[in-house]
Amino acid sequence: MENFIAYNPTSLHFGKDVIEGLGQIIKKYGTRVLLVYGKGSIKQNGLYDLVKSQLGSIEAEVFEYSGIRSNPIIEDVDAAAALGRSNSVDVVLAVGGGSVIDSSKIISIAIPVNFPAWNFFIRKAAPTTSVPLIAVLTLAATGTEMNPFAVVTNHKAETKGSFGSPLTYPKHSFLDPQFTVSVPRDYTAYGVADLIAHSLEAFFGKGEEATLSDRLVYSIISEALEYGPLLLNDLTNYKLRAKIMYAATMALNGLTMNGRTSGEWGVHSIGHILSLLYDVPHGASLTIVYPAWLKLQKDRIGERIALLGQHIFGVQGADETIKQLEQFFKNTGCPVRLSEVNGISPDPEEIYRIMVHNKAATNVHKLDYVDYRKIIGLMM
Amino acid sequence: MENFIAYNPTSLHFGKDVIEGLGQIIKKYGTRVLLVYGKGSIKQNGLYDLVKSQLGSIEAEVFEYSGIRSNPIIEDVDAAAALGRSNSVDVVLAVGGGSVIDSSKIISIAIPVNFPAWNFFIRKAAPTTSVPLIAVLTLAATGTEMNPFAVVTNHKAETKGSFGSPLTYPKHSFLDPQFTVSVPRDYTAYGVADLIAHSLEAFFGKGEEATLSDRLVYSIISEALEYGPLLLNDLTNYKLRAKIMYAATMALNGLTMNGRTSGEWGVHSIGHILSLLYDVPHGASLTIVYPAWLKLQKDRIGERIALLGQHIFGVQGADETIKQLEQFFKNTGCPVRLSEVNGISPDPEEIYRIMVHNKAATNVHKLDYVDYRKIIGLMM
């Protein structure tokens, strides 16, 4: 087992009607609140009204920034930070999925500074303070609610940037599975895929002696394999929503990394490129890349792939493991090839160029330019 | 899944030579340090010198309280708190196993007050502040290094008291498996038993819908079943020490309780009575009580016991599960009957009287007085 530091200061408030405690928690930090959300789905499912009622109960002064898009962009982060800065807010309240919470993490460190937020992503600046961030999660997928990481797109730079620091953990995150009940079937499936992919990025990272962390990976994936398909056939089932929501949090709150020095993250880096170029939903990009990546890697890390398959599918061998995983993604309605994504015309040369530009998949099990060509072929 | 709040602010520094970062962490809180330890084993294995060297590197002023015994007593807590109070210490530094760290948690909240620490245990007083606590762990067993709980004996009151609050989490805990290498075989086995028992107290608590927490229980116990016996035959093996040490932390840092409203803790409450009356080591008390408790409960919760057995032993049925667990404890050299503990003369009437006095095992799966007689019989 590799040396590690385990630290996660986020308070996770999980369950039915936990939102009723939101006002009192916000009040601890102040009453001038920057409320950040997306394109308005929270107005349809009633969450917006509940949040406003909580804010009303503590007589908060609320400044709203809405319109954060999926695959969030740096321009929104800068604009929201400017709004928070000019109004000297005490708290950033993010209500939404991964895009809204990721953006809000950067907003919370950008409010106290007077330079573009992209500087954090390119390591031109490091945050020294942050406005406290409180999150209300509406989508079980990215795990952002209990980790410090944010991914934001910069179209001018043709890249997605990643950032995380001890200052970008949410102080509190509120997770009520009821607010995920209105998530449509396809995005529910992408969330299941995302949590599986996060678990795998830990499993294929550096630190194969971390056997208890491996067992946790099997546990989280097994939970997704067992209850994900049941949920997709019963989208309003609270118990199933709760299981998947909690599994998604556990898949990327740091625990699966204990005893490892690095996650793999090669698949995510390629997935981000598909999202950047073709606006493929994050979870769907992963169900395309993961099977291709495993096929490419199986001659190098076949034993480890087989170990995974033995524990999560009860099968023998890397080939059978990959087959089962790809079939699972297919069964949940996720694309496993780019050709299965409607309305896009993927260009292998363009993907290759951006992979080179972004040095994709060069963390643990590194891909070279020949591998780039191969994996693009496997994804088409 | 039941509603829950997950919160654990302890920073866990895990691995080889992590002690080298101790001084700089202490310095963040101040340089007047109350150093608490036990009967001197840390002077034999070199840890005392390493700690003093770290304290020297930050020119700390150190006040030492030594002699904390296993099954720690309230008198030591009060005396150590008085020493800390009169010297206005900035930090409590606990170096030892569960007894030392448990005692130090109460010392850290007793220093700021002017009444006996037992008042916290009988809920006559609640802490409002604490001196920051930093722990260096030398025994893989109780999980105290990453939770807020403390158990201390009050012989006058014929009881062991339990206490925990958000103020009694260690700020930082340093876990170097190298410092557990000198733990003798029997106490190593008791530690393995303790971590299994902690996992089971969660599993048999309230909240059987918490399937991912159940999977985590299976994972932690499987780790102990696989690597515990290997370690007992290879006591100086760092990798095995690391696995058991990390498993012990994970068994009681709150994670297995997510989605449950209460742990069972009936077995622990009876185990504490055996320790109180006969000074049986904590882990050994659990290997005596758990098989007996399961035999008593199998007609009531047989399905759940069988579910456990299926996942951790691959066997069918409650009877076979209990048999396997008892055999595992035996194989590791732990007693499974009071008659196997050397040098004590257990008195069933005395045990019964103290069980009644302490209302033992009346939390989730409650035992009545008839059950008390039965379980005492099963333990003899």
- The three-class DSSP label of residue B218 is helix
Q: Is the pLDDT of residue A160 over 90?
A: no
Closest-CA distance of chain B to residue A374, Å? 37
Residues A352/A373, Cβ–Cβ less than 8 Å: yes
Task: Please check whether residue A210 is in contact with residue A260, taking contact to mean a CB–CB distance below 8 angstroms.
Answer: yes
User: The whole model's pTM is what?
Assistant: 0.96
Residue A71 clears pLDDT 90, i.e. is over it:
no
Interface list for A 219-238 with B (CB within 8 A)? 219-220, 222-223, 226-227
Instruction: Give Cα separations from B146 to B6, B12, B77, B80, B101 (angstroms).
Output: 13, 7, 20, 22, 10
**Using CA atoms, how far apart are residues A208 and B285, in angstroms rounded to an integer?**
35
Bridge partners (DSSP) of residue A95 are A136
∠ Cα A55 A58 A62 (to 5°): 40
Q: Name the minimum distance, in Å, from the CA of B78 to any CA of chain A.
A: 31
Contacts of A259 in chain B (CB under 8 A): 14, 242, 246
Burial of A12 (0-12, 13-18, 19+ CB in 10 A): buried
Share above pLDDT 90 across residues of chain A, in percent, rounded to a whole number: 96
Q: Token pair for residue A198?
A: 């996060």
β-pair type (B32-36, B61-65): parallel
Q: Any idea where the domains of chain B sit in the sequence?
A: 11-179, 184-379
pLDDT in the model for residue B63: 98
Angle at CA B291, nearest 5°, toward B287 and B295? Answer: 165
pLDDT digits (tens, 9 = 90+) for A239-291: 999 999 999 999 999 999 999 999 999 999 999 999 999 999 999 999 999 99
Say yes or no: domain A184-379 is CATH 3.40.30.160: no
**What span, in angstroms and rounded, lies between the C-alpha atoms of B131 and B120?**
15
**Rounded distance, CA A82 to CA A76, Å?**
10
Domain B11-179: give its CATH architecture: 3-Layer(aba) Sandwich (3.40)
Show pLDDT as tens, one digit a residue, over chain B (380 residues): 999 999 999 999 999 999 999 999 999 999 999 999 999 889 988 999 999 999 999 999 999 999 999 889 999 999 999 999 999 999 999 999 999 999 999 999 999 999 999 999 999 999 999 999 999 999 998 999 999 999 999 999 988 899 999 999 999 999 999 999 999 999 999 999 999 999 999 999 999 899 999 999 999 999 999 999 999 999 999 999 999 999 999 999 999 999 999 999 999 999 999 999 999 999 999 999 999 999 999 999 999 999 999 999 999 999 999 999 999 999 999 999 999 999 999 999 999 999 999 999 888 999 999 999 999 999 99
Residue B370: which residues within 8 A CB-CB, separation 6 or more? none
Closest CA to A211 of A157, A166, A260: A260
Paired strand residues for B136: B95, B174
Bridge pairing between strands A149-154 and A159-164:
antiparallel
Among A3, A13, A258, beta carbon nearest to B16: A3
Residue pointed to by tokens 């959300």 = A37
C-beta neighbour count of B119 within 10 angstroms: 14
pLDDT-derived band at A349, boundaries 50, 70, 90: very high
Answer yes or no: do B11 and A6 touch at CB < 8 A: yes
Mutate one of A2, A215, A238 to test the B interface: name it (highest B CB count within 10 A). A215
* Residues from chain A contacting residue B226 (CB–CB below 8 Å): 211
Residue A41: predicted pLDDT:
87
Question: Closest partner residue to A211 among B7, B8, B223, by Cβ?
Answer: B223
Across-strand partners of A12?
A173, B6
**CA-based nearest residue in chain B for residue A17:** B3
Residue type, A265: W
Please tell me the predicted confidence (pLDDT) of residue B265: 95
DSSP B90-109: SEEEEEESHHHHHHHHHHHH
pLDDT at res. B70: 85
Does A13 contact B at CB distance below 8 Å? yes
Nearest CB partner across the interface for B8, out of A8, A14, A219: A8
Q: Which residues in chain B touch residue A5, judged by CB atoms under 8 angstroms apart?
A: 11-14
Instruction: Answer positive or negative: Cα dihedral of A143, A147, A149, A153.
Output: positive
Rounded to a whole number, what is the distance in Å from the CA of B196 to chain A's nearest CA? 14
Give A-chain residues touching B215 at CB under 8 angstroms: 219-220, 222-223
- Strands A172-175 and A159-164, by their bridges, are unpaired
Can you read off the two tokens belonging to residue B103?
């005692």
Question: What residues are paired with B53 via a beta bridge?
Answer: none
Tokens of B151: 């158990």
Contact A223 B211 (CB under 8 A): yes
Of A8, A212, A223, the CB nearest to B220: A212
